[in-house]
Structure 1
Amino acid sequence: MTAQPIHPHGPERVPRNAEGIAAALDGPRRMDFYRELLAAAPEEAEGVLRRWWCEAMLDTDPAGDRLTAAALDGTLPTTSIADLVARRQDAGLPVE
């Protein structure tokens, strides 16, 4: 018997590489991404890719418009930092 994930992992919406990130961004944001990536020192490039991958994932989130509207309306569910820290501690995850 093998363990199966509860939520099967499919291919990522945005591949974690420069080409995938650029393809997920619209024209002006794509140019900002390339400009920042090309200006980054080699040791900074990974951080630039990581940040823009997060931006691309948010841009392509099917629920993005709903979440944005809820945030602007003040109806987005929130949680306190204390609750998050407690949940991480209960799960045995690091808290720094």
Structure 2
Amino acid sequence: MSALSVRQHKPDRVPRNGAGIAAALDSVKRLEFYRELLVAAPEEAEAILKRWWCEAMLDTGPGGDWLTLASLNGTLPTIDVITAIERRRSARLPVE
């Protein structure tokens, strides 16, 4: 089964490297990012970059603050799989 995101984003909004991620984060998060990255073993660095890249994408995305707060508070609206499939089919998007 493959899925395409209904909401497309500009892939280069936050470059997938340390400098790009750091530039997208606020000062408090940037310090935490650097702290984690500097003490990480080489085999841990990729996972840290991926996690912080996701954080940077949320922070820089339209409605990012709302999405983050709703996720943390457990108030993020969700739908069941059947409804998601029906929406994709009605939009003529692949569901396989």
TM-score range relative to shorter protein: 0.5 to 0.7
Matches of 1:66 and 1:9, distance apart in 2: 17
Please report the TM-score for the alignment, with normalisation by the length of structure 2: 0.65
Q: Please report how far the alpha carbon of residue 9 of structure 1 lies from its aligned counterpart in structure 2 after TM superposition.
A: 7.3
Q: Which runs of 5+ in 1 are unaligned?
A: 1-6, 92-96
Q: Is this contact kept in 1: 2:58–2:65, CA < 8 A?
A: no
Q: How big is each residue's C-alpha offset from its partner over 1:27-77, in whole Å with a ceiling of 9 and x where there is no partner?
A: 1110100000011100000000000000000010112244357x36x4x43
Runs of 4+ displaced beyond 3 Å: 7-11, 65-69
Aligned equivalent of 2:33: 33
Q: TM-score, normalised by structure 1?
A: 0.65
User: In the superposition, relative to structure 1, how do residues 60 and 8 fare at CA in structure 2: closer, same or farther (>3 Å)?
Assistant: closer
Query: Which residue does the alignment assign to 1:61?
Result: 61
Distance 1:52 1:68, change over 3 A: closer
Q: Quote the residue 2:50 is aligned against.
A: 50
Q: How many residues align?
A: 78
The runs of 5 or more residues in structure 2 that have no matched partner are 1-6, 86-94
Deviation at 1:79, TM superposition (A): 2.3
Q: Please say if 1:78 is aligned against 2:58.
A: no
Bigger radius of gyration among the two: 1
Mapped contact 2:58–2:67 kept (Cα < 8 A): no
Match of 2:23 in 1: 23
What percent of counterpart residues are identical?
Answer: 64
Deviates more, 1:12-21 or 1:59-68: 59-68
Alignment RMSD, CA only?
Answer: 3.0
The one-letter code sitting in structure 1 at the alignment partner of 2:23 is A
The code of the aligned residue for 1:46 comes to E
Task: Describe the shift of the 1:20–1:46 C-alpha distance in structure 2 as closer, same or farther (beyond 3 A).
Answer: same
